[in-house]
Amino acid sequence: MKDEVTRDERVSNLKGLGCSRKRVEDARFTQGKGNYIDDMNLPGTLTGDFVRSPYAHARIKSINIDAAMALDGVVAVLTAKDLEPLGLHWMPTLAGDKQMVLADGKVLFQGQEVAFVVASDRYIASDAVELVEVEYEELPVIVDPFKSMQSDVVLREDLDPKAPGAHGPRKHHNHIFTWEVGDEEGTNAVIDDADIVAEESMYYHRTHPCPLEPCGCVASMDKVNGKLTLWGTFQAPHVVRTVASLLSGIEEHNIRVVSPDIGGGFGNKVGVYPGYICSIVASIVTGVPVKWVEDRMENLMSTAFARDYWMKGKISATKEGKITGLHCHVTADHGAFDACADPTKFPAGFMNICTGSYDIPIAYLGVDGVYTNKAPGGVSYRCSFRVTEAVYFIERMIEVLAIEMDMDAAELRRINFIKKEQFPYNSALGWEYDSGDYHTAWDKALKAVDYDGLRKEQAERVAAFKRGETRTIMGIGLSFFTEIVGAGPVKNCDILGMGMFDSCEIRIHPTGSAVARLGTISQGQGHATTFAQILASEIGISAESITIEEGDTDTAPYGLGTYGSRSTPVAGAAAAMAGRKIRAKAQMIAAYLLEVHDDDVEFDVDRFVIKGAPERFKTMGEIAYAAYNQAIPGLEPGLEAVSYYDPPNMTYPFGAYVCVMDIDVDTGVPTINRFYALDDCGTRINPMVIEGQIHGGLTEALAVALGQEIAYDDMGNHKNATLMDFFLPTAWEVPNYETDFTVTPSPHHPIGAKGVGESPHVGGVPCFSNAVQDAFRPFGNRHTNMPHDHWRIWKTANDLGMHD
């Protein structure tokens, strides 16, 4: 047995962990060969389209569908009345509330679904939408959650005003829940006694992920064999199958849910939308496939928004700058229905990570969820679980405290970081941070950008501005974040009662290639590339020879889907564990073939070798073949494994970001001169994919911090429902990102990996915002709200007297 290839070459042939392997999915994406929902064209497909409410709050007096039905090509017009006998005019939300599928008596937000037109093609459906006559009676509109809590107007007439909601008692008919974590009395006592206290209120505005492809589905009820197939833009296909079964009464084995290629999810495609339900009903009624694909305006107006958090903080410290306590209260605007996609026990997601990366001995968080006349479905956008809000809050509070103490904000952070030796660290608000090394990351980041040099330059620029020599000022944005991803332990995380484990099933073929299926679903993250790399390193078969499949509930094992950067921490762990099961069986096969005891062989890259005699080995290819063609005493034929992985804890990626920005105080235009991002996501599976994730997340952070918003006027009119008004950054606005890393593996994850997809957004938003605010700090700025669009930046300068 002669080996022509060196061990290093064998390692590199695997294309396993740490390899910047090119994304296998890109061949089809870059050639326009992807298969998205709108590419599906089953024979006889009908198209659905919605009649939507122009009013944000109105009673529906009548709906007349006669003219629409009379139009050639219109097959059906569904209203709440048609869904009611089926019990489908309302549906449960992921947050334990319920939501109208089609307007039942009244509408609660502009763009709400009122009737569903089904026609032979999209154009006819659109024409018919115009022909449906709806008579509305306008009702008072509430878009401000504070006013909502004072108002006599009852938004949700379907709810008993005094009855508790899914998360406990309600204080008012427009109140949803109160969620409290930590020790309020103790925190107040510490803050009242403190040397230094900084207070600030901030609004994290409502925004929307606006993925390239909007939401859509094709429902096909095959009446002959009783099978319902649902293709759709689903981030959690198995959960959709379970919900569809519970709602429709069709047994779960008779429902197949498939997520084909998805053109970006970003949390927008976690929830269940009326379009899915209406398409299913329409297909059951008509017996032919029904397609529904929303347009851009519908996507921006009616599907899961993000944020809309009014946050009030108090932070206390000693004279030396050691933080002693943190108090946070949030008024959370959830819109018309509470449709947040949080794990059941966390009505404000993981907002209680708001103590951030700092060792804060005592803290309190209180959140009040409130109904308003806005679209439902919160908590999406590159952090489905409110970690963006939490990190924005603490990173602003740190800056405000630094201003209060007249201290350098980088130094203030350093003094308060949780120290390396304190991990695993139990935070005051109940999390166990698995690992971290914040000081190393911070020092590396500050050194990389020459932080002291930047501050000197900034001081010179301030002086020059004051002398009237320049009209631009310079901001240095800092942020240090700790993410919490990988929901999650089944003991405390579930969605609609389904524990948040995930899964991987591997099947090795006789010739030594393999297929693996997982319970997650890529929306562009590159899972087909990266999961194969995890497996390659675990089982010694090249990633090139492993096909990854996701998103078909008929074949993939049950999983909770992809959001909250959970794929790597949970399904990635399942992949490693399933790989280890394969390896354990392969070891027995190898020992049999080599005629030695199981314990006398060991795994080496792509083979099992005899301990002490590495020239005697069996490759994984040989072992796979033997699994199918030899009768091995005591072993079943075949080489397959499945793992359902329930993570013992979340993973806690972290990072240090610095943004250097110039601001023209007369135009309000910011120019980003430098953006440095250091990320620590533990073991790095594919550095190139990670880099892509960071670039994407930072660009979305830039968008949110510097202009992107969903705003409403007092009548509840949506002000940013088109891309004319909704800021999407292009190459023009995006700087050249510098990425860097440290590696602090997760101690409980089988390969030490933590998630990374959300991190750049979580850390990026406060970094961009802090850069703007830091530029104005020498001129007296303390806090201004995002989005820092040109007008708001100009106004900040104006308010500070810089135009005088």
Which residues are known to be catalytic? 235, 382-383, 758
Question: Are the CB atoms for 347 and 369 separated by under 8 Å?
Answer: yes
745 binds, among Cu ion, ligand PCD, none (CB under 5 to 8 A by kind): none
Element (H, E) at 579: helix 573-594
Q: How far is the CB of 663 from Cu ion (least distance, A)?
A: 30
Binding window for Cu ion (CB under 5 A); candidates: 51-59, 79-87, 642-650, 751-759: 751-759
Q: Which helix (H) or strand (E) holds 772?
A: helix 759-776
- Taking the least distance from each CB to Cu ion, the nearer of 309 and 617 is 309
Cβ 595 to ligand PCD shortest distance, Å: 40
Q: From CA 49, how far away is CA 294, in angstroms rounded?
A: 8
Give 317's strand partners: 196, 323
| Contact (CB, 8 A) for 350 and 387 | yes
Please, are residues 573 and 647 in contact by the beta-carbon 8 Å criterion?
Answer: yes
Measured from the CB of residue 453, what is the shortest distance to ligand PCD in angstroms? Answer: 32
755 binds, among ligand PCD, Cu ion, none (CB under 5 to 8 A by kind): ligand PCD
d(CA 351, CA 366): 10
Residue with smaller CB distance to Cu ion, 709 or 758: 758
> Least separation, in Å, of the C-beta of 759 and Cu ion?
8
Q: Which of residues 14-73 bind Cu ion (CB under 5 A)?
A: none
525 binds, among ligand PCD, Cu ion, none (CB under 5 to 8 A by kind): ligand PCD
Q: Give the whole-angstrom CA distance, residue 300 versus residue 211.
A: 10
Q: How far is the CB of 440 from Cu ion (least distance, A)?
A: 23
CB of 373 to Cu ion, least distance (A): 28
Looking at beta carbons only, is 385 or 675 nearer to Cu ion?
385
Q: Which of 728, 791, 509, 535 is nearest to 628 (CA)?
A: 509
Residue 788 contact among Cu ion, ligand PCD, none, beta carbon within 5 to 8 Å by kind: none
Residue 437 in the binding site for Cu ion (CB under 5 A): no
Question: Which residue number, 357 or 529, has a Cβ lying nearer to ligand PCD?
Answer: 529
Out of ligand PCD, Cu ion, none, what residue 718 binds, judged by CB under 5 to 8 A for its kind, is none
Which is closer to ligand PCD, CB of 241 or CB of 386? 386
Q: Among ligand PCD, Cu ion, none, what binds residue 689 when CB lies within 5 to 8 Å by partner kind? A: ligand PCD
Spatial distance between the Cα atoms of 542 and 24, rounded to a whole number of angstroms: 13
User: Could you say which DSSP state residue 269 is in?
Assistant: T
Do 383 and 117 form a contact (C-beta atoms < 8 A)? no
Q: State the binding partner of 129 from ligand PCD, Cu ion, none, CB within 5 to 8 A by kind.
A: none
Say if residue 440 is exposed, middle or buried (CB neighbours under 10 Å; 0-12, 13-18, 19+): middle
Count each helix (H run) and each strand (E run) in the chain, helices first: 20, 32
User: Taking contact as CB under 5 A, which single stretch among the options 504-512, 613-621, 754-762, 768-776 is the one that binds Cu ion?
Assistant: 754-762
Print burial letters for 392-429: b (CB count within 10 Å at least 16), e (below 16): bbbbbbbbbbbbbbebebbebbbebbbeeeebebebbb
Closer Cβ to ligand PCD, 357 or 746, answer by number: 746
Minimum CB separation of residue 725 from ligand PCD in Å reads 23
Q: Shortest CA distance to 410 belongs to which of 366, 458, 376?
A: 458
523 binds, among ligand PCD, Cu ion, none (CB under 5 to 8 A by kind): ligand PCD
Q: Give the one entry of Cu ion, ligand PCD, none that residue 259 binds, where binding means its C-beta sits below a cut-off of 5 to 8 angstroms depending on kind.
A: none
387 binds, among ligand PCD, Cu ion, none (CB under 5 to 8 A by kind): Cu ion
Complex with ligand PCD: residue 110 or 523, whichever CB lies closer: 523
**To the nearest whole angstrom, how small is the minimum distance from the Cβ of residue 563 to ligand PCD?**
3
Chain position whose Cβ is nearest to Cu ion: 383
**Contact between 679 and Cu ion (CB under 5 A)?**
no
Q: Which of residues 547-586 bind Cu ion (CB under 5 A)?
A: none
Q: Which residues bind ligand PCD (CB under 6 A)?
A: 235, 264-267, 380-384, 523-527, 530, 562-568, 681-686, 689-690, 693, 696, 753-758
> Quick check: 230 and 302 in contact, CB under 8 A?
no
Q: Which of residues 163-182 bind Cu ion (CB under 5 A)?
A: none
Name which of 449 and 685 has its Cβ closer to ligand PCD.
685
For ligand PCD, the closer of residues 525 and 619 by Cβ is 525
What are the CA-CA distances from residue 518 to residues 269, 346, 535 (Å)? 18, 26, 12
Q: Which of 591, 390, 581, 611 is nearest to 485 (CA)?
A: 390
User: What tokens were used for 70?
Assistant: 């009379």
Give the span between the Cα atoms of 244 and 561, in whole angstroms: 16
**The entry of Cu ion, ligand PCD, none that residue 774 binds, CB within 5 to 8 Å by partner kind:** none
CA-based torsion, 258, 261, 267, 272: positive or negative: negative
From the list 332-340, 375-383, 454-462, 582-590, the region that binds Cu ion by CB under 5 A is 375-383
Nearer to ligand PCD, 362 or 762 (CB): 762
Between 21 and 106, whose beta carbon lies closer to ligand PCD?
21
The 324-363 contact track toward Cu ion, x by CB under 5 A, reads ----------------------------------------
Give the nearest distance from C-beta 474 to Cu ion in angstroms: 31
Q: Which is nearer to ligand PCD, 53 or 693 (CB)?
A: 693
**Partner touching 174 among ligand PCD, Cu ion, none, CB below 5 to 8 Å by kind:** none
β 432-433/546-550 pair status: unpaired
Q: How far is the CB of 486 from Cu ion (least distance, A)?
A: 10
Q: Which amino acid is present at 754?
A: K
CB of 661 to ligand PCD, least distance (A): 25
Three-state SS string across 525-578, please?
CCHHHHHHHHHHHHHCCCHHHEEEEECECCCCCCCCCCCCCCHHHHHHHHHHHH
Does 383 bind Cu ion (CB under 5 A)? Our answer is: yes
Q: How far is the CB of 448 from Cu ion (least distance, A)?
A: 25
* Residue 2 one-letter amino acid: K
Contact 745, 683 (CB under 8 A): yes
Q: Given the DSSP bridges, would you call strands 106-107 and 472-482 parallel, antiparallel or unpaired?
A: unpaired
Question: Is there binding between residue 387 and Cu ion (CB under 5 A)?
Answer: yes
Which position among 213, 342, 368, 758 is part of the footprint of Cu ion (CB under 5 A)? 758
Q: Which among ligand PCD, Cu ion, none contacts residue 753 (Cβ within 5 to 8 A by kind)?
A: ligand PCD
Distance in angstroms (rounded) separating the CA atoms of residues 341 and 94: 5
- What angle, rounded to 10 degrees, do the helices at 387-405 and 409-416 form? 110
CA dihedral 698, 700, 701, 704 (to 10 degrees): 160
Per CB under 5 A, the segment of 316-324, 387-395, 523-531, 650-658 that binds Cu ion is 387-395
Minimum CB–partner distance for residue 636 and ligand PCD (Å) = 32
User: Among 342, 334, 386, 344, which residue's Cα sits nearest to residue 365?
Assistant: 386
With CA atoms as reference, report the closest residue to 740 among 688, 677, 687, 697: 677
Alpha-carbon distance of 313 to 585, in angstroms, equals 55
Nearer to Cu ion, 697 or 716 (CB): 697
| Residues in touch with Cu ion (CB under 5 A) | 383, 385, 387, 758
